[in-house]
Amino acid sequence: MNQTPQEETGRVLFASVAVWATVVAAGAVEGLLGKFDAQSVAAFAVAVSAYALAVYRLDPNLRRFAATMNARLRWAASAATVAMIVVAAIAKWPAVAVFAAPLATVAFLAAMERSGKPTKAREKSPGATRAAT
């Protein structure tokens, strides 16, 4: 009997965000982020965002999970995480910005991707366009 384990993407995603929050919070409590200048913290935020982007693009289960979410929820998550970064920048809370940066990247990518079936005839059939005739 060869059974493939069923991944529960939602739980894995929740656990990943919880671990990331714990790591960033521990760094903030220990004063780690305060030891670096703003440019270094921003570079780190960009690096973890690039990693999150790569994970999102390479993991089909994660993209599938995001595609099943309501589009409004995806846009709300994107707006909320971007708002977290803006507030963190104004209030000079580098830990919040570092935490939110990869989440905002993935949330924005998920919001930009369309889900569901095509609704217009043109999108359903390539033969329905003028160029194809």
Q: What is the pTM of this model?
A: 0.78
Task: Give the span between the Cα atoms of 43 and 51, in whole angstroms.
Answer: 12
pLDDT at 3: 75
Measuring CA to CA, which residue among 103, 46, 50, 48 is closest to residue 80?
Answer: 103
Structure confidence by residue, pLDDT tens digits, 14-27? 999 999 999 999 99
pLDDT at 107: 95
Task: Give the span between the Cα atoms of 62 and 126, in whole angstroms.
Answer: 28
Low pLDDT (below 70) residues in the chain: 1, 115-133
pLDDT at 7: 77
pLDDT at 122: 54
Axis-axis angle for helices 38-58, 60-68 (nearest 10)? 90
pLDDT at 123: 54
Q: Which amino acid is at 111?
A: A
Indicate the burial class of 44 (C-beta count within 10 angstroms; 0-12, 13-18, 19 or more).
middle
pLDDT at 34: 87
Task: Give the span between the Cα atoms of 123 and 121, in whole angstroms.
Answer: 5
